[in-house]
Amino acid sequence: MFDIEKLNVALKNHLYEEASSAFVELMRVIEKNGHVPLSQSVFSSRLVDLKDEELIQHVAQSVHQLFVNPEVQINIPGYDALMAWQITLSNLFYLAESPTPESAVESILKQTNGIVSSANVLKLCLLFSTESTQTETLAPILQTNPELLLNVCMSLVWGCSGTAQSCTNREWAYAQIPSFFEKLEAPNFPTYKIHGFFMHSSYGFAANKHALKAYLNQQIQRKIASANLQNTPKTQNSYTAQANACMQKSFDAVGCSKKIILVNLEFLNTTHSVYRVLGKSLLALKQNYILVGVAWPGYVHIDDDFFDDFITLSAAGDLYCAQEIMDIAAAYQPVAVYYPCLGDVALGYLPFQHAFSTCSICSHRSWGQQFCH
């Protein structure tokens, strides 16, 4: 739990570095607990009886005061945090209604007479809310750092809430992103977030929304090429023993060697209607094949009924655990790879698509994903 008064006290006592650190802690706490009400991760030790909506208002007011204070500099630890915090603040200010990010932007520009320092540029990026009505004001200022604005635009696509203004900003962002990829030879942005860019760019009305996927694929191909992925010798492959044990267990049970299908999972849990349906296809496949599930940590919550073997990857990683996935495919030698996914992307497919499998089977929720390759 984070006490919002930690930030307020630091501001009141002109302890600006402490205030900045408190803000970073607040963002991390909210991001980590984004699936629960704010009152379950943030509280006020000074105002103990605040209702949920009052707490949201109080936190928004505290953040607003921090942003408009010219003495406070905010350090953002990378573009991943920039996107996460921007979306968090968009939601916070949207729910609070007042104060608004627009009023903070106006205050910053008034204080600086329009001469925006690099520190204030970072503040303005975070205040470029998905609900912002200040696109014409903010965009020219952020143009001085194209890579930064690229990440802001990607965040607007990722975090679109579905309101009219948010959708307007998303359409604007769609139009900007291709030009940045053309200008920037090797732009820096969170690679693992590409999954969301693919999925979210399928929605909306922009004429070029699917064209965005082509630019993302170019970036993916460059990153995979630069990663210098290599086949791991069988004797050094950490998954060889596990794969052999899985195949032997199946042979002992049915008296013959069934072929293996790897199932590359995005999400799988009982709360999603799509997977209640796809679960039936998995159970049917399991009657004739050895099913080996592969998933990122924390995204799959199921029992052993669906799979003969299950592998949780070590981490999401910048390249989706590409080397680890290649090792898994080499060890298990599948006849097919099944992708029962909601919005997977080429980066998730390519490590599996090696000399180790003969075909792949995809099932998508969104027709828009058909344009991604």
Q: What is the pLDDT of residue 268?
A: 62
Share of the chain above pLDDT 70, in %: 83
Q: What is the pLDDT of residue 258?
A: 85
Farthest-apart Cα atoms in the chain, separation: 80
Average pLDDT, stretch 131-159? 87
Output the average pLDDT for the chain.
81
Share of the chain above pLDDT 90, in %: 23
Rounded CA-CA distance 149/180 in Å is 9
Highest mean pLDDT among 126-140, 222-236, 262-276: 126-140
For the chain, domains (ranges, CATH) are 2-227 (no CATH), 234-371 (3.40.50.11380)
299: pLDDT strictly greater than 70: no
CB 40 within 8 A of CB 33: yes
Which helix (H) or strand (E) element contains residue 310? strand 309-312
pLDDT for the residue 178: 85
State pLDDT tens for residues 301-346.
666 678 889 998 886 555 667 788 889 999 999 998 887 754 444 4
* pLDDT on residue 242: 93
Residue showing tokens 């990857």: 313
pLDDT value for 344: 45
Torsion angle of C-alpha atoms 183, 188, 194, 200, degrees rounded to 10 = -60
pLDDT 10s digits, 152-162? 988 888 877 77
Mean pLDDT of 353-366: 48
Q: 62: buried, middle or exposed (CB in 10 Å: 19+, 13-18, 0-12)?
A: buried
Of residues 317 and 74, the one with the higher pLDDT is: 74
Strand order in the sheet with 309-312: 309-312, 290-295, 260-264, 336-341, 359-364
Peptide bond just before 99 cis, omega within 30 deg: yes
- The amino acid sitting at 121 is V
More confident residue, 332 or 219: 332
Task: Label residue 234 by pLDDT band (50, 70, 90).
Answer: confident
The first and second tokens of residue 358, run together, are 């003969």
Sorted by sequence, the CB contacts under 8 Å of residue 249 that are 6+ apart come out as 308
Q: What is the Cα–Cα distance from 56 to 54, expressed in whole angstroms? A: 5
Q: Is the pTM of this model over 0.95?
A: no
Residue reference for tokens 């032997």:
248
- Among 60-64, 138-142, 210-214, the minimum mean pLDDT is found in 210-214
